[in-house]
A and B are shown apart, each in its own frame.
Chain A
């Protein structure tokens, strides 16, 4: 049986979808079978970031409502044969997600895949609670700023009360993924520092993804950053996070952008 990861945050725009795609591609490069599932019904994005938007025929809602088989809705990645996408519906709304339907789909996916990664919508409503409901592991994506931290705190509370694991009295495994981190700005006090965020949220850190234009560029060409620019600093950080999720015990580092001496001087001046 595969493991179910939910990538969640509460707040929107912190990098859930980007992180889902990057972690999915990173785990797939370890030769494990991975499916990324978009739960953002009505506002789907994962298909774009995965570069599969023109290949969507059936979606999660079709499968839940019995209009399509799971195998018909799964889209195999063109670059990696063990990476799949289950897209969300763009034309329906979140009311079409039912607890029984989601349970059935996740249960089936767990049989075929080593990793089922659920990309949660923002918010704390139906879509988000159903995305986290069947998870074994939660990746809480947080930006180093106060509103994102508070929303993550709220989500951690829900992970500990509204999930199947919590209802069975077990503990949900939770990991903090700090995204869009800029060491220079954190040092200057414009951003929260890693330790501040960790003190407030008090869950283990799985990775620090540096703020980088590589991430945006990868999204725009429709590829996870771990496939498009595997040598870039954010990609390295996602690879490290994936290794930790797979159970490896390695220290968390803050990967830095590799710039020449001139680049460093200009970066300082621009910042």
Chain B
């Protein structure tokens, strides 16, 4: 019985993507907080039903058993927790939602209240209003020196330009294109948040790994006549193409 496990035409794509999650930060005593939550849920029916919710327990002094209990209470209220933020490792147990970190604050989310009185025609569906959402603008990051071994530059918002080199053992991850005015000896990943038109440019290609939109190529997959030359790499379909630049 043979089964072809690898299919050269299709590589696995690993992408990053960010979503806006609702964050709940419970406060002690928990029974009072749950009562307030029940009160809120009664006034806006189904608010938590379809939403990804992150539980922030940074300020909460509870142990593993209490956290388990809290999760059960929330689950009974149809609040599905997708992740737990700020939990100490001692609080976590197998089967709990994964620990999250590195969250960035966004605007407050207002819970639109639904009228408990029936019979009135709902003219507007209940909606979530997000205040002060930043307007998306094209951004770029310029690094004026070399990225040394062991350092990584991660910039999901746009292009990254490196005026020096990227050393062996260093990495640059950009949401947009990567421009390197020195040698690329480490790793460069462009279009990390799903940008298929992102490219990688460098003065001297000696990369350990290049990736665009989750599709990657190792050093040995690169054509030997490109090595040591100025080059650009881009994506066509599911393949990374590369060419010399003059």
Contacts and interface: CB of A to CB of B under 8 A. Distances in A.
B167 interface: yes
A157 B185 contact: no
Interface of B: 145-151, 164-165, 167-170, 182-183, 185
Contacts of B147: 157
17 contacts: A124-B150, A150-B167, A150-B168, A153-B148, A153-B149, A153-B167, A153-B168, A154-B150, A157-B149, A157-B150, A157-B170, A158-B150, A200-B168, A200-B185, A202-B164, A202-B165, A202-B182
Interface size of A as a range: 10 to 19
Nearest to A152: B149
A124 B149 CA distance: 12
Contact of B169 (A153, A161, A202): A153
A214 interface: no
Interface of A: 124, 150-151, 153-154, 156-158, 160-161, 199-200, 202
Query: Which 5 interchain pairs have the tightest Cβ spacing?
Result: A157-B148, A153-B149, A154-B149, A154-B150, A153-B167
A19 to B, nearest CB: 21
Contacts of A202: 146, 164-165, 182
B145 A200 contact: no
Given A151-B149, A154-B149, 10 more contacts: A153-B148, A153-B168, A153-B169, A154-B150, A158-B150, A160-B148, A161-B151, A200-B168, A202-B146, A202-B164
Contacts of A157: 147-151, 170
A154 B168 CA distance: 9
A214 B241 CA distance: 53
A173 to B, nearest CB: 15
A150 B164 contact: no
Contacts of A158: 150
Contacts of A150: 149, 167-169
B223 to A, nearest CB: 23
A155 to B, nearest CB: 8
Given A200-B185, A202-B164, A154 B146 contact: no
A154 B170 CA distance: 9
